[in-house]
Amino acid sequence: MSCQCAPENRTPDPKQVKLGEVFAKYKGVKGALIPVLQEAQDIYGYLPADVLRQISLELKIPLSKVYGVVTFYAQFHLEPRGRNIIKVCLGTACHVRGGAKIFETIQKELGVADGETTEDLRFTLESIACIGACGLAPVIMVNDDTHGRLTPDKVKAILAQYE
């Protein structure tokens, strides 16, 4: 029986396997950087530095250029994201009806500022302009759920619904 710690017995990291498949799919394809970044982010939930290095090597694109693209587009994230994404609307209608107070209440409740993620990776908090539900102002979204006509005292019970 061979030693369990021998490299050939180690289960490959499933995320690395998937990333390898993405590289294979885009091998030799022009303009692959953005789709590869998108797929890598789908796999990891964000873009770890090590993954960006691998992308740079595989696509033969300088790392500085890869970072340039990642930091240019708001859709890409260099830090881990929470399991639940809270978007607090600060558009005009929501602002007028107390959106800022809701935002402040959530920040205090979670101990994070705009764009930050809680240490336990449960929530990422973001502010956003109008989400098109002004009739329900003030509004927040948690993942795909819209919560409207909010008051600060409702915040705690809403957050408690998300693990």
What is the binding site for ligand FES (CB under 6 A)? 89, 91-94, 130-134, 137, 139
CA angle 84, 151, 120 (to 5 degrees): 25
- Strand, coil or helix: 51: helix
Query: Shortest approach of ligand FES to residue 150 CB, angstroms?
Result: 11
Structure tokens at 110: 């979670």
CA distance 15 to 118: 23
- Which is closer to ligand FES, CB of 40 or CB of 150? 150
Query: For the chain, what's the residue count?
Result: 163
CA distance 128 to 92: 11
Residue of closest CB approach to ligand FES? 91
- Which is closer to ligand FES, CB of 38 or CB of 107? 107
- Which is closer to ligand FES, CB of 52 or CB of 137? 137
CA distance 68 to 36: 15
Query: Shortest approach of ligand FES to residue 48 CB, angstroms?
Result: 33
Question: What is the identity of the amino acid at 60?
Answer: K
Query: Shortest approach of ligand FES to residue 87 CB, angstroms?
Result: 10
CA distance 133 to 129: 11
Query: Shortest approach of ligand FES to residue 104 CB, angstroms?
Result: 16
Query: Shortest approach of ligand FES to residue 127 CB, angstroms?
Result: 11
- Which is closer to ligand FES, CB of 69 or CB of 134? 134
Query: What is the gyration radius of the CA atoms in the chain, in angstroms?
Result: 20
- Which is closer to ligand FES, CB of 51 or CB of 140? 140
